[in-house]
Structure 1
Amino acid sequence: MTARIDHDKRRRELAATMMTIIAESGMESATMRQIAQRAGYANGALAHYFRDKNELNRETFRYIFSSTMHRIDTNAAGLTGLAALRVFCIEMVPCDDIKREGARVVIPFWQRALHDDQLAAEFQSAFRQLRHRASDYLRQALHDGELHTLDEAAALDRLSVTIYGLLVLAVLSPAELSADRQIWLIDDLLDALRHARPAGGTTTSASGSPRG
């Protein structure tokens, strides 16, 4: 068991090293040789932990995703509904140095996923989990009366477009999308959801039944 734990720990450490190199110098700089050297391993030692570079890519993507989920779980602890959703959104966008570093790594992985089916599958899995989490928060908000109505699919699409748009644009154009501006845009979207009214004046409950 200890050997298994050590093996998994080394894999995470190497993924973290790869993430740092990509954030500093780009994907092309993150060679197996450079990663081993930065992590203090002999050349070729990474073969004990990863079959090839593609496997290390996937592990690094999972490392970034799990780090994001951990931040959400920690910072949204004890919160529900729109308060939890606000934390969720803020933890997804590059509004501080840690999240900006993560964004600089995720963006080149998205490009690579266009030609790597296994990496694309990792992205789709992460996207579904994030969407499911946001859905839970929206349903809590509706149940607790924070929302008058909920078109769940439309709300999730608006959240996704806002979050992923900010993730890219705030990295490429930080002067136009400061941290304060990113958070304002998130709050503006949540406020729009909060004040949305159903067509015909009929409010829909979390169970889907009219509330009059």
Structure 2
Amino acid sequence: MPKIVDHVARRRQLTEALWRVVSRDGVDAVSVRNVAAEAGCSPGALRHYFPDQSDLVASALALVGDRFAARIATLDVPGTPVEIVQAYCEQMIPLDEARRIEAEVWFGFVIRARLDPALDALTHRVQRDLRGFLAQLLPYIGAPSAEVDRLHALIDGFTLHLLLYPDQLSTDTVRERLRAHLESIASV
């Protein structure tokens, strides 16, 4: 009897192997051979699911978005409007190990995407979607729509600082500063 393979699950496993390579060795270590070795399969088996490295990288970036969307979909936060908006914003910041790895993958490939038009289009689309998501949150706290750029920049700044200088900025400090910013722009 032939073996039945869940192709979606297998693609996800291979993509997660790429994430582990990035987290451990950096973006420059990503190759079909290295990802296949991490996943415990042959390069040919990996190519069955991802014909080239660009497809694999696009899948890695898409998985970042999928995990963010899954967290948002299941988020149920009681509290004030500012507390609720803060909880949603925190889903974009690497405040735990899983989000740190997502951010490493995301920013690592954002830089590489400048040389790959297909990846560049994907990263721009995700940035537009995140900006749109933040724009939907601001009315909930009565903040003007003009604040979306500052909030987006603040979240990106916190993310970069937590990735690059984790010993200089604690997650508690990030949460406190995010809360202070949201309270400063809220009018509810």
- Answer yes or no: same fold by TM over 0.5: yes
Partner AA of 1:151 in structure 2: P
Residue 93 of structure 1 aligns to a residue whose secondary structure is: coil
> What corresponds to 2:179 in structure 1?
187
Residues 1:29 and 2:25 aligned together: no
The 1:61/1:133 distance shift into structure 2, 3 A limit, reads: same
Residue 44 of structure 1 aligns to a residue whose secondary structure is: helix
Contact 2:82/2:179, CA 8 A, preserved across alignment: no
Which whole-Å CA distance do the structure 1 matches of 2:43 and 2:153 have between them? 42
> What corresponds to 2:152 in structure 1?
160
Alpha-carbon distance, 1:6 to partner: 2.1
State the Cα deviation string for residues 148-207 of structure 1 (Å, max 9, x = none): xx420x2110111001111111111112211111111110110111259xxxxxxxxxxx
Contact 1:84/1:137, CA 8 A, preserved across alignment: no
> What corresponds to 1:134 in structure 2?
134
Task: Give the gaps of 5 or more residues in structure 1.
Answer: 142-146, 197-212
The 1:95/1:129 distance shift into structure 2, 3 A limit, reads: same
State the Cα deviation string for residues 70-114 of structure 1 (Å, max 9, x = none): 112222467894333211211111111111121122111111111
The 1:38/1:119 distance shift into structure 2, 3 A limit, reads: same
Residue 69 of structure 1 aligns to a residue whose secondary structure is: helix
Which has the larger Rg? Answer: 1
Q: How many residue pairs are counted as aligned between the two chains?
A: 186
Residue 91 of structure 2 aligns to a residue whose secondary structure is: helix
> What corresponds to 1:86 in structure 2?
86
TM-score w.r.t. the length of structure 2 is 0.89
Which whole-Å CA distance do the structure 1 matches of 2:78 and 2:152 have between them? 24
Task: Give the gaps of 5 or more residues in structure 2.
Answer: none
Q: 2:168 aligns with which of 176, 179, 188?
A: 176
TM-score w.r.t. the length of structure 1 is 0.79
Which whole-Å CA distance do the structure 2 matches of 1:121 and 1:79 have between them? 37
Determine what percentage of the aligned residue pairs are the same residue.
28
